[in-house]
Structure 1
Amino acid sequence: MRLLLAALIVASSLLAGCANMLAQRQAFLSQFIGRPEADLVRELGVPTRSFDTSGRRFLAYVDRRVELLPPPPMWGPWGPWGRFGYYGGFPAEVVELVCETTFEIADGTVRSFSLRGNACG
């Protein structure tokens, strides 16, 4: 029971941390709404891609990184395998994290933004 309670506390703190990061990102990006497109490009740099449709312009910024998650520890009897290290027979996991931020521009002014991806929060 104590182990379950500890796991729930850890999980809730991780989720709270992700929510906090998302709120910080949204607060930072919200400062560009109502400002000219030139201010956006000046602050964030050249967008990864852009496209125009129906009198609106969309600028997309893609933040991409790769992280290496260590393999899980080996549990159980050490036997002759103990001298080869702490980690077991599972390989490390490579995870690609991507966050795409798309701004909508109308009449030269930033109107809105949207976030998409597994690394936005």
Structure 2
Amino acid sequence: VAASIAVKSLRAFQRLNVPILGVVENMAYFVAPDTGKAYYIFGHGGGATAAEELKVPFLGEIPLSIAVRQGSDDGEPVLISDPNGEMAGYFREAAGQLARQIGIQARRFQPLSVM
């Protein structure tokens, strides 16, 4: 359901000629702390499928995490509270992919001339 809502929203932006930099799948899976096994509790591949359908890059998956939820509640993101932690790494990777897409988009657009 969430992926279909995201696709509808992104299509609306595309109709308005708003560049879409890509799709990041948040809460993509849960890693069991006792086994380290990933469980795709909301289904698997929704973000990649949405990106393919919209013809935009898939920028990655971010797992469901108690640390992210606690940091959000406390107003301190994991990039601040645990900058070298695993969750910070997921966000860093997504941010790197996003930065690459910004660079690609910037090269596609010509600067406007002011007369």
Same fold (TM over 0.5): no
Which entry has the higher C-alpha Rg, 1 or 2? 1
Q: Which has the higher helix share?
A: 2
TM-score calculated relative to the size of structure 1: 0.26
TM-score calculated relative to the size of structure 2: 0.27
**Does 1 or 2 have the higher relative contact order (CA < 8 Å, sep 6+)?**
1
